[in-house]
Amino acid sequence: MKNMVHLPLKNAFNVRELGGYPTKDGQVTMYCSFLRGDDLSALDQQDIDFLLNYGLTSVVDLRSAAELDSHPDALAAVSPINYINIPLVGSDAVNPDLTKARTILPEQFIMDFYLEILKSATDAIKQVFEFMAAQEGCVLFHCAAGKDRTGIIAMLLLGLAGVSKPDIIANYIVTEVYIKENPILQQYQEDLPLELMQSKPKYIETMLDYILSTFGSFEGYLMHINLTQETLLLVKNKLVTESFQLQS
């Protein structure tokens, strides 16, 4: 049951592994360490039991207070899961106006939104990494669709581990495949530009280019937002495992 890429939950559609990616140091990202996900409010007991058996111990909910009020996380009160809510948007620092997606190019809106999070939600990102560093077992981080806020944290984790740019992009772009399977999100498609539901490579490439050109590395960005080397090492050690060699 372990080492799956996409977890077969009945009531969440985009819960996926960060395990299995090779790194530039010849290591591999570990399975059952970090999961990325979408809205978990509809999980039933079978889904919850599956996650517990998978090794889940902690949840980082990246959604806003308003989202929590309308769709409470089904894992928030589940023992022994350690749950925390750290919103990346909906604060004074980052509070996007979706109506702008109709007045400017939707693709540009998304890329600007991503950069705004990286530049302005630094306190929240710092809290996410500090929480992750302190956890034992498998950590699941999620938002509503599992694309934007979740995609940013996934990118930072994989980048810190030394995963290649193409693999980071690949991890992101598959998101829209699973969004199309989510009946809740499909209700919003008529009201929002299609581009907001997509996960095009250039959306994440904008962030990758910004981090690497401005800070030189993912570690450089994360230290810029005042994360310590000790915290980053703890997170990285949770994510990467032994070296591998290609067979000749």
The residue assigned the tokens 């710092």 is 126
Structure token pair of residue 116 = 């705004």
Cβ atoms 19, 240 nearer than 8 A = no
Cβ atoms 81, 59 nearer than 8 A = yes
> How far, in whole angstroms, is CA 113 from its chain's centroid?
15
DSSP letter for each residue of 151-203 = HHHHHHHHHHHTB-HHHHHHHHHTHHHHHTT-HHHHTTTTTS-GGGG---HHH
Annotated active-site positions, please? 143
CB atoms inside a 10 Å sphere around CB 36: 24
Cβ atoms 140, 61 nearer than 8 A = no
The three-class DSSP label of residue 24 is coil
